[in-house]
Structure 1
Amino acid sequence: MTRIAVLIAFASLLFLARPAAALAAPPETRVPFALLIDANSGAVLFAKNADAPMAPASTTKILTAEIVFRALAAGRLKLDDTAPISPRAAREGDAESGGSSMFAQANSRVSIEDLLRGLLITSGNDAAIALAEDVAGSQEAFVAMMNRRARELGMTHSHFANAWGDGSPGQRVTARDMARLAAYVIQTYPQYYRYCGETAFTWNNIPQHNRNPLLAMNIGADGVKTGHLAKSGFGLVGSAVQNGRRLILVINGAHSEAERASEARRLLEWGFGAGGG
């Protein structure tokens, strides 16, 4: 069995494992979707609507990043390669379009490394589109690649319509699928996953901060990605490590940034304390 097959099999095992026994009762959570897993043991510590469809919003960019990470690991891309910023990437990914942006300028070229930072730290839609076009030749070809890759990774209840995660019809995931993706990325690409834990990024003389609230909480968080849509609320795929033990959390549907932060923290603190041991 190849190393990749072993890793995918391991990631699948995490989410087929039965809930951990004899845990203290978890706190109630106000968010409609939640999943907390122990990535070391494979135990599901907490689940709420973990297999129900939900809108991924910008957590979509974790899969976009995985495809780029895979190309880097295979030598098909290099971090210092540059990708063109098409007018489409600049237009659809511009802040004025209502989404997040790293403020890349049309017809410029940006390194793959800076685009990854723009994608994962500032959640730039322009970065997502530019990476998709560079890797696959077009946005449409990249979306087909995303859906093939999702199936390969065992994300059987997910479907993607674009690389950045707007509210397009048919764009759906489950908390379990997103946790599976996060676990795979963390284990397979540690050299690139580190970008998810960087707290700030400046591009075009505009400083921007990572929206992941866990990174500022001193609870061992090191990634992964936030998301938000007006119709589906605030979401987060997060991971934290304490004493060598890694937990992965997915929540979605919070009513505000503050609720997203507080619910994520409560579940992780419970998982590291009463929930796990």
Structure 2
Amino acid sequence: MHLLRLLPRHSLNWIFLVASLAVVTPGAVHAEALLVVEADTGKVLQADNATMPWYPASVTKIMTAYVTLKAVKDGRLTLDTVLTVSPVAASQSPSKMGFRPGIQVTVDNALKMMMVKSANDMAVVLAEGVGGSIDGFSAMMNQTAQKLGMTQTSYVNPNGLPADGQITSARDLAILARAVIRDLPEYEYFMHIPSIRYGRRVTQNFNKLIGRYPGADGFKTGFICASGYNLVASATRNGKRLIAVVLGSSSGQARAVRAAQLLERGFGGNGLGWLKPALGTVDNLVPIDATPPNLRDEMCGGKRKRPATDEDADIVAANGSASTGESPVTFFTAGLQPPMGKPSEMIAAAAEPSEPIPVYTGPTKTGPALIAAVAADVEQQTPAKRSKKSKVAAKKPAAVAEAGAKAAKPAAVRHASARPETAAKPAASAEKKPAAKPAAADKTVPKPAKPKAAAKPKGENKPAG
């Protein structure tokens, strides 16, 4: 701060210095971990609490997808492999699809449901299908983490629901995101699908950067009470790709705005680079030996009018107020950035229109079978109590089939080049009405011994999302 006394109080350099201090100083009121790295080189552009241990919540599912897709790439199974929903999978806490035990789903559809809806049951379906059991798959996840250099990460389950030993850090998550980009380019589309349609239900990706922030192309959100709102995001501009990690934000809206701010600074610079020391590469960030912060009281305490969850629709202030997590530096540097609007305005805007990708149960279907499957899903979700007139009308499937055809067409086009082994087979099929809400997951899923560095988020009972 002594440097401020050497500069004229109203000079441009003084303003830049104050702005830079606002960027690099962690907030004293709210715990957050922030990290921005270049995807190709791993160069760190900004790091705040980047090696602080953290509860991952549903960003765990990035590793679940990575291990599953590596198994596909290695030929141990295919995207068309049919997996069965077990009682353990069906018993997971929301967010989930809610399928009954015995229902079958392809690897392809399970991945889409898991990455877009953050379906905890689909994560277990994939884990059991690839690793034989939750414990077996968790061992595969941990082996993969160690191989990638994720030295601060430990997995106990594939979905991020609260459990002893489920920890990570912003550093490790950036390393994982780089591995996805490097090792699985042909399957990256799973990381940025804007929305899915299951019957009548359309679910938008919880990652609010998708379809809003220019160039956004990954990865996953997460939330449990202990972790706060987490996000691993990526975006590409002018051939340059950046990865931003935000852990412990106060809402789904705030984490998206914060990630957009980090990406904007990384892409455009802000005239302040001379003030920042070289931070090296993400692999060389020094881990902190500490207990993960527990944000449960802040996230899920009595002050909130409704329970916090990753599925809640955030109310966005039209003027981009402080409640959105807007940093003062945005206003100082707005004139220096490309004319794309402030991050809060980008995230508050409606997402670019896109056709939802149809998902379904059962084996892979194409052509007329795909259209019929989508129509059957719609029919399954039609309210049971209908008049005789409506029942007669329901026997005429033309309108429903037309809707199914509309939903099915873009899936075939979008994934024709992305799935070489099934290029002519877009995914979709019929399934039955979901069962009633099952018991909580933490009473069913077995847990291995507690690692020394782990600390269970006490009193945790909120969903990973």
Shorter-chain TM-score range: 0.7 to 0.9
Percent identity, please. Answer: 41
Whole-Å separation in 2 of the counterparts to 1:248 and 1:50: 13
2:23 to 27, 30, 33: 27
Superposed counterparts of 1:207-218, under 5 Å: 207-218=202-213
1:69 aligns with 2:69: yes
The answer to which of 106-115 and 216-225 deviates more is 216-225
1:184 matched residue in structure 2: 179
1:39 matched residue in structure 2: 39
Kindly provide the CA deviation profile for residues 130-154 of structure 1, in whole angstroms up to 9, marking residues without a partner as x: 0000111111111111111111111
Query: How far apart are residue 216 of structure 1 and its match?
Result: 2.7
1:262 matched residue in structure 2: 257
Q: 2:38–2:242: 8 Å Cα contact kept in structure 1?
A: yes
Kindly provide the CA deviation profile for residues 78-109 of structure 1, in whole angstroms up to 9, marking residues without a partner as x: 111110011111121xxxx3x21133332111
Q: 2:154–2:168: 8 Å Cα contact kept in structure 1?
A: yes
Query: How far apart are residue 41 of structure 1 and its match?
Result: 3.6
1:112 aligns with 2:107: yes
1:126 aligns with 2:121: yes
Whole-Å separation in 2 of the counterparts to 1:134 and 1:76: 11
1:141 to 132, 136, 139: 136
Structure 2 counterpart SS, 1:212? coil
Whole-Å separation in 2 of the counterparts to 1:238 and 1:105: 32
Stretches (4+) displaced over 3 A? 28-31
Query: How far apart are residue 118 of structure 1 and its match?
Result: 0.9
Structure 1 counterpart SS, 2:206? coil
Structure 2 counterpart SS, 1:121? helix
Whole-Å separation in 1 of the counterparts to 2:251 and 2:181: 27
1:56 aligns with 2:61: no
Q: 1:122–1:211: 8 Å Cα contact kept in structure 2?
A: yes
Whole-Å separation in 1 of the counterparts to 2:81 and 2:169: 34
Whole-Å separation in 1 of the counterparts to 2:52 and 2:213: 31
Whole-Å separation in 1 of the counterparts to 2:87 and 2:261: 43
2:197 matched residue in structure 1: 202
Whole-Å separation in 1 of the counterparts to 2:82 and 2:176: 26
Whole-Å separation in 2 of the counterparts to 1:203 and 1:222: 23
Q: 2:213–2:260: 8 Å Cα contact kept in structure 1?
A: no
Report the CA distance shift for 1:59/1:212 in structure 2 as closer, same or farther (over 3 A): same
Structure 2 counterpart SS, 1:215? coil
Query: How far apart are residue 246 of structure 1 and its match?
Result: 0.3
Higher strand share: 1
Unaligned stretches of 5+ in structure 2? 1-18, 274-336, 338-465
Query: How far apart are residue 40 of structure 1 and its match?
Result: 3.1
Structure 2 counterpart SS, 1:211? coil
1:4 matched residue in structure 2: none
Amino acid at match of 2:201: I
Kindly provide the CA deviation profile for residues 186-223 of structure 1, in whole angstroms up to 9, marking residues without a partner as x: 12111211111111112354321110011132321111
1:250 matched residue in structure 2: 245
1:231 aligns with 2:231: no
Q: 1:125–1:164: 8 Å Cα contact kept in structure 2?
A: yes
Residue-pair matches, total = 249
Whole-Å separation in 2 of the counterparts to 1:58 and 1:204: 24
Q: 1:103–1:204: 8 Å Cα contact kept in structure 2?
A: no
Structure 2 counterpart SS, 1:35? strand
Computed over aligned residues only, the root mean square deviation of the Cα atoms, in angstroms, reads 1.8
The answer to which of 56-65 and 199-208 deviates more is 199-208
The answer to which of 185-194 and 27-36 deviates more is 27-36
Amino acid at match of 2:216: A
Amino acid at match of 1:209: Q
Whole-Å separation in 1 of the counterparts to 2:227 and 2:148: 25
